[in-house]
Amino acid sequence: MKLPRPLSHSSITLYGECPQKYKFRYVDEIPEKPRHFFSYGQSVHSALEFFYGAKSPVPPTLEQLLASYKETWVAKGYRSQDEEAEYFDQGKALLKLFHGKHAKDFKPPLHVEYEFALEVEGVPVRGFIDRVDKLPDGRLAVVDYKTGKKLATSRIDIDPQLTMYQLACESQLGAEVAELIFYHLPSLKEHRALRRALPLVDELRRRVVDTAEAITKEKFDPKPMDTVCKWCDYKPLCPIFKNQYADVPMAPAKASGEPELAVLVDRYGAALAEAEKAGAELGKALKKKGYVRAFGVKYEATLNPAVRWEFLDKKKVLEHIKKAGLYEKVLAPSTPLVNKLMEDPATDPALKADLAGLGERVDAPELKIKPL
């Protein structure tokens, strides 16, 4: 098979973690559930993109930064409104501190959210780099923001994500990378590493090529590990756990990250669509024959030949009703109440005529069905 999409740092990591999970995600294209921590990270990243995206030496004000944060806030995946509000406030506090620290020494970077696309031995690789700064000596500093509470810094000198960013910048921007930085936002601390030496870059190149080769040869064996499987959305579909889900009907791939729910959603949707079609046909057939009731073997259907009035200019309707001294009868000109007034034989015919001039009488047969 062909690669389903260019590789990226995260897809290579996912393949390394569990090839079967990679297949579910990128080959079968089954989406994972939204997660609040991804939404939070995305929201803060967008705010910083706005901050550093300023095309002038003057940075956005704190008010502008917070307004942009609010505007681009991603609300998906939170378990409750309280949790969302808590994260929103946490991000706001973080951005205030960030602005306080960096507005003073603001310099527009060389690139913000830099999108790269390169080939490693013919394998397409894509990605985004949070920020690329130009240093006074003309070399580059690559910055990756981290929003998680904990950041493992012990491996920063060999971390393959930063190695990939160095490779991308040097091959695409034609300048040498001097520094690789993980910026831990909750503590406002920058963790720096020097540029990678050739052996590490070669190791990354090999990893890219090996991963691409394994994917094209369709090597998608599951790699179960408690810590990973525990959070895996594909568990109900995974061959390793199939016995646990033996009695649960599963939707085919692509349906959603919730296969049991997907089966019910599709069943309900199909039943409703079929019911609507059958109902329209039955209503038409009853009307054609002039019947209001018909019997099947198991059900009885009744067609209530109700009519209703529809009004566009509700203000005028209210004026007429008030003028006729009947305001209390409808309290407000809600459509059902005005309809009642129109169908009430006791209503003054002059008012009925006035209202009829403002509306349209619509046939609204109501089909009811019940078991026999």
Interatomic CA distance for residues 199 and 257, integer angstroms? 39
Interatomic CA distance for residues 194 and 203, integer angstroms? 17
User: How far apart are CB 211 and ligand SF4 at their closest, in Å?
Assistant: 16
User: How far apart are CB 41 and ligand SF4 at their closest, in Å?
Assistant: 21
User: How far apart are CB 220 and ligand SF4 at their closest, in Å?
Assistant: 9
Beta bridge partners of 371: 299
- Rank residues 102 and 235 by Cβ distance to ligand SF4 and give the closer one: 235
- Rank residues 232 and 342 by Cβ distance to ligand SF4 and give the closer one: 232
Beta bridge partners of 299: 371
- Rank residues 80 and 227 by Cβ distance to ligand SF4 and give the closer one: 227
User: How far apart are CB 244 and ligand SF4 at their closest, in Å?
Assistant: 10
Tokens of 265: 């959603």
- Rank residues 118 and 253 by Cβ distance to ligand SF4 and give the closer one: 253
User: How far apart are CB 10 and ligand SF4 at their closest, in Å?
Assistant: 15
Interatomic CA distance for residues 314 and 334, integer angstroms? 9
User: How far apart are CB 254 and ligand SF4 at their closest, in Å?
Assistant: 16
| Distant-in-sequence contacts of 277-285, Cβ < 8 A, 24+ apart | 279/367, 282/367, 283/365, 283/367
- Rank residues 130 and 233 by Cβ distance to ligand SF4 and give the closer one: 233
User: How far apart are CB 188 and ligand SF4 at their closest, in Å?
Assistant: 34
User: How far apart are CB 250 and ligand SF4 at their closest, in Å?
Assistant: 14
Q: What is the dihedral of CA 85, 89, 95, 97, to 10 degrees?
A: -170
Q: Which residue has the tokens 């389903």?
A: 4
User: How far apart are CB 22 and ligand SF4 at their closest, in Å?
Assistant: 9
- Rank residues 47 and 238 by Cβ distance to ligand SF4 and give the closer one: 238
Interatomic CA distance for residues 27 and 25, integer angstroms? 6
- Rank residues 148 and 239 by Cβ distance to ligand SF4 and give the closer one: 239
Tokens of 329: 């009868």
User: How far apart are CB 214 and ligand SF4 at their closest, in Å?
Assistant: 15
- Rank residues 221 and 366 by Cβ distance to ligand SF4 and give the closer one: 221
- Rank residues 26 and 241 by Cβ distance to ligand SF4 and give the closer one: 241
Q: Which residues bind ligand SF4 (CB under 6 A)?
A: 18, 20-21, 222-224, 228-229, 232, 234-235, 238, 240-241
- Rank residues 151 and 229 by Cβ distance to ligand SF4 and give the closer one: 229
